[in-house]
């Protein structure tokens, strides 16, 4: 009887502790103001909800114990926070959001491999990541306005959206990703940024600006648009690329605009471009060759200082055809292909000109707007995240680059 009297209160205490632990681990949103608050989660293997590190947090916050957060992990406007991390957390089921953390210099997640969304902005003191297990799974990644010089620790298998912009110290970015299902936008990072997608086979849309080199040896298909604007590389090679956009819809364009050092474009297997094929204001580009290009659903619009373009496989240009070069070019073969029912179905212009700094928006309105009874839809030009008409001027392209 005496033992029973002791056991019953003991069981009550255990039950109470278990209930308190369950309550701590399963809050819809738990707020961490200090390291003491973070330590309260030490007994949780899973946090069934979201964690918010409040703006009042400062110094070092380490959330050790939990292996999984089913919801979001958010930290914003914590101006006194210097270090954030976990030695046990392996996955975040929602968004991992860091924003406006002016003193954060250490971000250490030693076991983290899976996140639904990474959204990091305004981290001016964060120079590197400590992610030794490497994040390989994420559907969306946005990293903007940080002090990061490398993104080592993030190496994705697949991703929907990848946006890397305004990271002025970033020198390299390489990922094993094979498929990008929505968009890539790499823009306004360090001038010497080297980008590598060694295993990328398929992408929906890709836009690159201010990049010093690009490695896409396996890329075979871009379902939307592929655009290179204001970059610093001397060579763009896509040896396995066969198609950009859809010729069935006339959407998805290929653009090379204002790449001052670009001297060579090598896409030997490219056969179709759904929208426009645009080359403009690449001052070092003296030759243009697309040996396998057969069908262009929009317009061909080339402007610069290059010799006669080589397009030997061309069978159908549904939009206009505007080639203007300050170098002497021979338009004889292209002239023979122009006209209703022939290869070039839209407005045709091909000439040597004293000024090829514009893409003929004032002289090739018909071509630019796709004024062809065969395909008015060929007028629509999509450059990654931008929509423009096929015959837009280089000034327009440059303005787009700066936006």
**Domain membership flag for residue 187:** no
**Domain membership flag for residue 226:** yes
CA-based nearest residue to 69, from 38, 105, 45, 43: 45
**Domain membership flag for residue 255:** yes
Q: Which two tokens stand for residue 305?
A: 């200082």
Cα 7 to Cα 237: distance, rounded to the nearest angstrom = 75
**Domain membership flag for residue 323:** yes
pLDDT at 385 over 50: no
Number of domains in the chain: 1
**Domain membership flag for residue 85:** no
| CB of 274 closer than 8 Å to CB of 254 | no
Task: Please report, for residues 1, 42, 320, 345, 360, the alpha-carbon distance to residue 364 in angstroms, rounded to integers and kept in the order given.
Answer: 101, 68, 8, 14, 5
**Domain membership flag for residue 215:** yes
In tens, the pLDDT along 241-285 reads 999 999 999 999 999 999 999 999 999 999 999 999 999 999 999
- Least confidently predicted of 187-196, 267-276, 279-288, 387-396: 387-396
In tens, the pLDDT along 125-166 reads 999 999 999 999 999 999 999 999 999 999 999 899 999 999
**Domain membership flag for residue 267:** yes
Across 263-340, the runs of DSSP E, i.e. the strands, are 264-266, 272-273, 277-280, 295-296, 300-304, 316-317, 321-325
Residue 329's domain comprises 201-403
Say if pTM beats, i.e. exceeds, 0.85.
no
**Domain membership flag for residue 167:** no
Cα 391 to Cα 326: distance, rounded to the nearest angstrom = 18
């Amino acid at each position: 009887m005496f033992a029973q009297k002791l056991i019953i209160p003991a069981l009550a205490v255990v039950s109470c502790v278990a209930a308190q632990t369950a309550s701590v681990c399963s809050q819809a949103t738990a707020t961490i103001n200090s390291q003491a608050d973070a330590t309260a989660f030490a007994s949780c293997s899973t946090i069934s909800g979201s964690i918010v590190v409040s703006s009042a947090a400062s110094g070092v916050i380490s959330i050790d114990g939990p292996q999984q957060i089913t919801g979001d992990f958010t930290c914003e406007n914590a101006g006194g926070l210097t270090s954030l991390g976990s030695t046990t957390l392996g996955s975040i089921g929602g968004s991992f959001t860091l924003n406006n953390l002016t003193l954060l210099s250490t971000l250490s997640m030693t076991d983290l491999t899976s996140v639904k969304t990474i959204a990091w902005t305004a981290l001016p003191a964060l120079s590197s990541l400590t992610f030794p297990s490497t994040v390989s799974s994420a559907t969306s990644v946005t990293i903007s306005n940080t002090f990061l010089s490398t993104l080592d620790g993030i190496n994705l298998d697949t991703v929907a959206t990848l946006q890397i912009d305004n990271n002025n110290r970033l020198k390299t970015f390489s990922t094993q990703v094979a498929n990008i299902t929505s968009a890539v936008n790499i823009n306004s990072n360090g001038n010497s940024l080297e980008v590598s997608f060694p295993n990328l086979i398929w992408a929906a849309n890709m836009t690159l600006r201010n990049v010093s080199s690009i490695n896409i040896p396996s890329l075979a298909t871009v379902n939307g648009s592929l655009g290179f604007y204001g970059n610093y590389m001397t060579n763009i090679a896509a040896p396995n690329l066969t198609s950009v956009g859809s010729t069935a819809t006339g959407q998805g364009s290929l653009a090379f605009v204002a790449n001052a050092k670009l001297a060579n474009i090598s896409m030997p297997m490219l056969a179709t471009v759904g929208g426009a094929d645009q080359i403009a204001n690449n001052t070092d580009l003296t030759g243009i060759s697309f040996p396998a290009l057969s069908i262009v659903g929009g317009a061909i619009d080339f402007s610069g200082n290059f010799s006669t373009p080589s397009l030997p496989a061309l069978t159908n240009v549904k939009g206009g055809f505007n080639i203007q070069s300050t170098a002497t070019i021979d338009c004889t073969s292209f002239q023979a292909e122009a006209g209703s029912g022939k290869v070039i179905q839209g407005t045709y212009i091909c000439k040597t000109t004293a000024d090829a700094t514009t893409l003929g928006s004032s002289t090739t309105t018909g071509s630019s707007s796709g004024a062809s009874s065969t395909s008015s839809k060929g007028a629509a030009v999509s450059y990654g995240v931008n929509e423009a008409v096929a015959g837009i001027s280089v000034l327009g392209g440059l303005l787009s680059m700066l936006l």
